[in-house]
Amino acid sequence: SEFPPSNVTETVKSIADILKRRKETVSVSEAACGGLLSAYLVSVPGASEWFHGGTLVYSLKSRLKLSGWSEEDILNYTGPSEKVVLRLARNLRMDLGSTYVLSETGIAGPVLQLQDKEGKSIYSNDDIGTVFLGIAYPGGEVSTFKKTTSADRSFNMQEFAKAGLE
């Protein structure tokens, strides 16, 4: 199959044109997408002009090392949320100095095993297919969430990445 899909390529080209025209840059902080956002962005020739890079903070340990989280943050983590996604964007923007940072964190599926420190489930399997998206920019930050109707991991990863680019 085609990589990236043609509709994604068109979206990325539009993003690239806007960023180049404004002389702005973007970085990404990814979790559930597993690097797809970065791969989509760098698939367009000339991406080095406007794409600073990103982090893949799939595990909590990686957030400790790559996103400015503390041990206390890890202990108090309750799963993907608006608060988490905005913090990921804010921290990476401070680290890389990009004009914009797009971040995502979600539940791609197929089964959910997220538990709190007492071992109780934090989310139900109904939460599979949920992604939180955040953007940090010079004037502030904004977030949203999307939900697919699928428990298919690969499908959700691709949908999360597409939603982030839109």
pLDDT tens per residue, range 112-134: 666 666 777 666 678 899 999 99
30 closest CA partner among 96, 111, 88, 91: 88
Cα distance between residue 28 and residue 38, in whole Å: 7
Place of tokens 């080209």: 13
15 closest CA partner among 50, 39, 48: 50
Rg (the chain; Cα; Å): 16
Give the mean model confidence (pLDDT) for residues 55-70.
87
**Could you tell me the CA-to-CA distances from 129 to 27, 133, 148, 157 in Å, in that order?**
24, 13, 5, 9
Confidence class of residue 49 from pLDDT cuts 50, 70 and 90? very high
- H or E element in which residue 164 lies: helix 153-165
Strands (E), the chain: 26-30, 51-56, 100-107, 130-137, 140-147
Cα distance between residue 68 and residue 88, in whole Å: 9
More confident residue, 102 or 110: 102
Q: Kindly report, residue by residue over 75-88, the tens digit of the pLDDT.
A: 888 889 999 999 99
pLDDT value, residue 137: 98
Decide if pLDDT at 48 tops 80.
Answer: yes
Decide if pLDDT at 156 tops 90.
Answer: yes
Looking at every residue in the chain, the average pLDDT score rounds to: 92
Q: What is the set of domains in the chain, with CATH numbers?
A: 6-165 (3.90.950.20)
User: Buried b vs exposed e over 139-156: b needs ≥16 C-beta within 10 Å?
Assistant: eebebebbbbeebebeeb
Q: Kindly report, residue by residue over 4-47, the tens digit of the pLDDT.
A: 999 999 999 999 999 999 999 999 999 999 999 999 999 999 99
pLDDT value, residue 116: 67
Cα-flanking dihedrals φ and ψ of residue 148, to 5°?
A: -90, 175
